[in-house]
Amino acid sequence: MPKGAIDATGVGWFDVVGCEAGGPVARMTTLFRADLDHAVPAPPAELLVKIGTFGNPLYFKLGGLKLFGDLMEPILRHRGIESIRRLLDWGCGCGRVTAHFLMEPVIAEVFGCDVDREAVQWCSDHLKPGKFSRIAPRPPTPYEGSIFDVAVGISVFTHLARDVQNAWLAEMARIIAPGGLFLASTHGEFAARFAFPETFTELLRDGIFSDIYDRWIDGIVPDGYYPDVYQTREYTVREWSKHFEIVEYVERGAGNHQDLVVMRRRA
């Protein structure tokens, strides 16, 4: 979707620019939908809390739209949307981003998967005609090989330790078609600096840090499975390129906080 003024569809882009001393110092771009409030259903608060939206349905909807726009821009740069027959939202949760892909009429089939059985059931009940599946914390998935043209994973690798990342990268390479795209976010150096301003350099000395465990989804995954993970760009490019061609690395490219890695499955 080209950037420009909001047209008759009620869909457009906003650029928010922060200025200091007469010049720009920060910028955030996000999509706008006039029909957002009724176009996207709101999950119950207990599901919203699990994905870090603090039970706030407006934050859920606006955040999902922002992330959808962050994903669509590189998808359109590297692959026309008209060529996408099947798209997978890996780690879809309660459909924060999936809901927006389902509103794209050009994409024939939209799939979502997650470890959270309740979230998957809510998506199946409320996000038609999406196709949703519960998956285990470790691969494999139930999908056939080379079935997806595009897969996305927002805030998933940010909670997977090194060995689990490698296992899931191999699985995604199996289910994405040759030439297909995989877009995934990480906690990069910006996020590490934000979380640990005094110690982030030392914490990332080995390229990846995963020693703090998150308790957002206790009872859904095994104990010790779900750490907060931070990793350098150098580590990510070196390790992930063993599975995919890295075609773009966008610092703060997902929600202006996480880095976005755009990958292509080799033929």
| pLDDT for residue 11 | 67
* Domains assigned to the chain: 1-34 (no CATH), 41-264 (3.40.50.150)
Q: List pLDDT tens digits, range 231-252.
A: 999 999 999 999 999 999 999 9
| pLDDT for residue 22 | 73
| pLDDT for residue 9 | 47
| pLDDT for residue 191 | 97
| pLDDT for residue 53 | 78
Interstrand relation of 109-114 and 86-90 (parallel, antiparallel or unpaired): parallel
| pLDDT for residue 3 | 44
Separation between Cα atoms, residue 230 and residue 195, nearest integer Å: 10
Residues (pLDDT < 70) of the chain are 1-15, 25-28
Residues 6+ apart with CB under 8 A from 51: 60, 93, 94, 96, 155, 216
Q: List pLDDT tens digits, range 153-205.
A: 999 999 999 999 999 999 999 999 999 999 999 999 999 999 999 999 999 99
Token pair listed for 113: 């998967």
| pLDDT for residue 2 | 43
| pLDDT for residue 18 | 75
| pLDDT for residue 6 | 38
| pLDDT for residue 25 | 61
